[in-house]
A and B are shown apart, each in its own frame.
Chain A
Amino acid sequence: MTDQKLKEILHRYSVPEIDPAHLRQTIQLAQKELNRARIYGKITFWELLAGQIRYISPYIWIAQAALLVLVFSLLPHLSRIGDAQQTAMAVLSTSSPLLALVAVPELGKSLHYQMWEMEMACRFNLQKLILLRLILFGVADLIVITTLLLFSSTHSPVSLIHLGMYILVPFTMANSLYLFILRKVRGKAATAAALSAGIFLSLGFALLSRFSDAYAVTTLTGWFLLFFLSAWILTREISTLFTYFSEGEQLIWIRS
C-alpha cells in the first residue's frame, strides 16, 4: 500500500470538529460521575478513634479531673489527722468505683438517646463504636489511676502494689457491675441504676476499708487473687457486651 493510498484512507476517517456544547456536557457528566463514584478513601478505625474524642461529653473529663482534685486535696489532709494506711485504703477504694462510674452514661448513650439503630447500620457499627469508647475511657482511666497511685504513694507508708490493689480491685468489680447493668436494665433506667449501684459500691468499700479489718488482714496474695478474679469477670462481661451489641434482638428488647 502506497503512502498516497494510506493518506486517502486516513482522510476518509477524519475526526469531526468538537462541538463546544458537547465538550462542556462531557466534562459535566464526568464531574457528576466523579462525585458519585466512591473514589475517596475510607478512614481507618484509628482515624475514627482520634476523631471521636471531640464527641465525648466534656463532662466526662471534668468529672475525672474533679475526682483527681478531690483525692489530691483530701488524701494529705486526712493522712495527717488519722491513720495514713487506713486513709489511703478508704480514699482510693471509695474513689475508684466513682471513677469507673463516670464513663457509664457515655457508654450507654447510644441506647439512651435512641441512636443505636442508625449507628448499627454504619460501616463502623455500634459494636466498633463501643470498642472505641472503651479504648478511650480505658486510656483515660489508666492515666487517672496512675496519677492517683503516684500521688498517694508519696502520702502513704503503704507499698505501691498494695495501693494499686486498693484501686484496681474495686475498679474492676465496679466496671463489671456497670456493664452488667447496661445489658440487663431496660431503657433509660440503666444509667440511673448504674449510678445508684456506683454510689452504694463506693460507700460499701468506704465502710469496709474504714471500719473493718478485712482490708488489713487480707494478704497481698489474697489481693492478687481478688484482682485476677475481678479482672476475669470484667473480661467476660466485656466479651458478653460485645456479643450483645452485635445482636439487634437484645437492643430492641432493652429499648422496649
Chain B
Amino acid sequence: MELTMDRLTKMYGSKVAVDRLTATLHKGVYGLVGANGSGKTTLMRMICDILKPTSGVIAYNGTDIHRLGEDYRDLLGYLPQHFGYYPDFSAYDFLMYMAALKGLPQSKAKQKSLELLELVGLTGEKGKKINSFSGGMRQRLGIAQAMLNDPKILILDEPTAGLDPKERVRFRNLISSFGTERIVILSTHIVSDVEYIADEILIMRKGTLLDHGPVNHITAHIHGAVWECEVSESEAAQLNDRYTISHLKHLGSGVNLRIVSESKPCESALPTSPTLEDLYLHYFKEESHRDR
C-alpha cells in the first residue's frame, strides 16, 4: 500500500496553496501539522480527489488516482474540517445514507453502521436527530461515517476540533488502532494530538513540506535550541518579548520558562530535550508572534 505525491501543486489564481510537494506514504498514522493557511486542507482535498492539482500527480500503488476514479474513492474515508448534516437525519439515518453513497449493500450498511455507532459510543443516541447532538458527538459521528467502508486511506481534517479532553484521548486511541492496517492522515494544529500516535509527522508551511519523519527524528533537528530557566517576573517579560516561549509557569519565587532559541537566551538557561510543540514553535515563529 503506497500513496505517492509527486511535485503536487495547487494554485488559486496567482496564489500558491500547495507548492511542488513530494512525499510517499505507507501504512501508518501521519500527522499533518501546520499553521492556518499552510495548505493542509488543500492537500487533503487533493488526496480525496475533491480538488484537481494544478500540476503534479497523486498515485495509489503507482496508478494516478484520477484514473482510478470510483475505485480510488472506494478506498477512501474522509472527515472534512467543516461538515454538516441533513436536519431530518438521525445518527443511524446519516450513517445509512453515507453507506449507500459508499456503495455498501443494505445488510452490510446496517451491520457496519451499528458497529461504528458502538465504536464511537453513540449506540444509545442512534435514533436521535443529529441537531440535538453536541459538537463532540457530531465529530464522533463524522469519524464513524469516514470508517463505514473500511477505508485503506483515512483522511481526517482537524478531527479533534470541538472534542473535550476525555473525548480527545478516546479519539487518539481510536486513530492509533486504525493506523495499523491503513494510511491515516490526520491534520491538526494541536500538536499534542499527533505527538504520541503519529508514526510520522509532516510539517507544512506556505504550501511546502518543511520537514517530515518520526517525532524523535524531526525534533532532533532542534536539539540544543530548547532551553529552560527560572527567572524573575521582570526578566520573564523581557525574554517573552525577545524569544519564542513554549511554556510559562508562574512560581512563588519567579517564573519558569521554556524557550525555543538558537542561542542561549539567558545566563541561567539550561538546554533541554525538544518536543514536537517546541519544533512547531521553532518553525512557526512568525505566526506565533503575529498571534500575540
- Residue numbers of A with Cβ under 8 A of B are 36, 38, 40-43, 48, 51-52, 55, 57, 109, 113-115, 117-125, 129, 247-249, 252
Question: What residues on A are CB-neighbors of B102 within 8 Å?
Answer: 122-124
- 8 closest A-B pairs by beta carbon, nearest first, are A114-B84, A42-B103, A122-B101, A121-B78, A117-B80, A248-B50, A123-B103, A248-B51
Tell me the chain B residues, 28-49 only, with Cβ under 8 Å from chain A.
Answer: 45, 48-49
Question: What residues on B are CB-neighbors of A119 within 8 Å?
Answer: 101
B248 located at the interface, meaning its Cβ lies under 8 Å from any Cβ of chain A in the complex? no
Interchain nearest-CB distance for A71 vs B (Å): 28
Residue contact A113 to B87, C-beta cutoff 8 Å: yes
Residue contact A118 to B83, C-beta cutoff 8 Å: yes
- Residue numbers of B with Cβ under 8 A of A are 12, 45, 48-52, 70, 73-74, 76, 78-80, 82-88, 97-98, 100-106, 108, 142, 145, 149-150, 155, 181
Residue contact B83 to A121, C-beta cutoff 8 Å: no
Interchain nearest-CB distance for B98 vs A (Å): 7
Q: Which of A51, A109, A115, A248 contacts B83 (CB 8 A)?
A: A115
Closest A residue to B49 by beta carbon equals A121
Question: What residues on A are CB-neighbors of B86 within 8 Å?
Answer: 55, 109, 113, 115
Question: What residues on B are CB-neighbors of A113 within 8 Å?
Answer: 84-87
Question: What residues on A are CB-neighbors of B145 within 8 Å?
Answer: 118
Residue contact A124 to B103, C-beta cutoff 8 Å: yes
Question: What residues on B are CB-neighbors of A55 within 8 Å?
Answer: 86, 97
Interchain nearest-CB distance for A129 vs B (Å): 7
Residue contact A123 to B52, C-beta cutoff 8 Å: no
Residue contact A57 to B51, C-beta cutoff 8 Å: no
Given contacts A248-B50, A249-B51, contact A121 B84 (CB under 8 A): no
Residue contact A48 to B50, C-beta cutoff 8 Å: no
Given contacts A113-B87, A115-B84, A248-B52, contact A43 B103 (CB under 8 A): yes
Residue contact B101 to A129, C-beta cutoff 8 Å: yes
**Bound Cα distance A42, B87 (Å):** 27
Closest A residue to B46 by beta carbon equals A248
Question: What residues on A are CB-neighbors of B106 within 8 Å?
Answer: 51
Given contacts A42-B104, A43-B103, contact A36 B150 (CB under 8 A): yes
**Bound Cα distance A156, B186 (Å):** 65
Question: What residues on A are CB-neighbors of B97 within 8 Å?
Answer: 55
**Bound Cα distance A105, B48 (Å):** 27
Residue contact A121 to B48, C-beta cutoff 8 Å: yes
Residue contact B104 to A40, C-beta cutoff 8 Å: yes
Residue contact B100 to A121, C-beta cutoff 8 Å: no
27 contacts between A and B (CB under 8 A): A40-B105, A40-B108, A41-B105, A48-B101, A51-B100, A51-B106, A113-B84, A113-B87, A114-B82, A114-B84, A115-B85, A115-B86, A117-B45, A118-B78, A118-B79, A118-B83, A118-B142, A120-B50, A121-B73, A122-B102, A122-B103, A123-B102, A125-B73, A129-B101, A248-B50, A248-B52, A249-B12
Question: What residues on A are CB-neighbors of B82 within 8 Å?
Answer: 114, 117
Interchain nearest-CB distance for B79 vs A (Å): 8
Closest B residue to A58 by beta carbon equals B88
Closest B residue to A41 by beta carbon equals B105
Interchain nearest-CB distance for A16 vs B (Å): 31
**Bound Cα distance A166, B284 (Å):** 65
Given contacts A48-B103, A117-B80, A118-B145, contact A42 B74 (CB under 8 A): yes
Question: What residues on B are CB-neighbors of A109 within 8 Å?
Answer: 86
**Bound Cα distance A40, B101 (Å):** 15
Interchain nearest-CB distance for A1 vs B (Å): 48
Question: What residues on A are CB-neighbors of B84 within 8 Å?
Answer: 113-115
Question: What residues on B are CB-neighbors of A125 within 8 Å?
Answer: 73, 101
Query: In this complex, which of A36, A51, A117, A247 has the most chain B Cβ atoms within 10 angstroms of its Cβ?
Result: A117
Question: What residues on B are CB-neighbors of A252 within 8 Å?
Answer: 51
Question: What residues on B are CB-neighbors of A121 within 8 Å?
Answer: 48-50, 73, 76, 78, 155
Interchain nearest-CB distance for B126 vs A (Å): 17
Question: What residues on A are CB-neighbors of B49 within 8 Å?
Answer: 120-121
**Bound Cα distance A117, B76 (Å):** 13
Question: What residues on B are CB-neighbors of A124 within 8 Å?
Answer: 70, 100-103
Question: What residues on B are CB-neighbors of A248 within 8 Å?
Answer: 45, 50-52
Closest A residue to B71 by beta carbon equals A123
**Bound Cα distance A252, B12 (Å):** 11
Residue contact B150 to A38, C-beta cutoff 8 Å: yes
Interchain nearest-CB distance for B89 vs A (Å): 9
Given contacts A113-B86, A118-B145, A248-B52, contact A43 B100 (CB under 8 A): yes
Interchain nearest-CB distance for B111 vs A (Å): 9
Question: What residues on A are CB-neighbors of B12 within 8 Å?
Answer: 249
Closest B residue to A121 by beta carbon equals B78
Residue contact A123 to B70, C-beta cutoff 8 Å: yes
Given contacts A36-B150, A36-B181, A42-B74, contact A48 B100 (CB under 8 A): yes
Residue contact A114 to B83, C-beta cutoff 8 Å: yes
Closest A residue to B97 by beta carbon equals A55
Interchain nearest-CB distance for B115 vs A (Å): 9
Closest B residue to A123 by beta carbon equals B103
Question: What residues on B are CB-neighbors of A118 within 8 Å?
Answer: 78-80, 83, 98, 142, 145
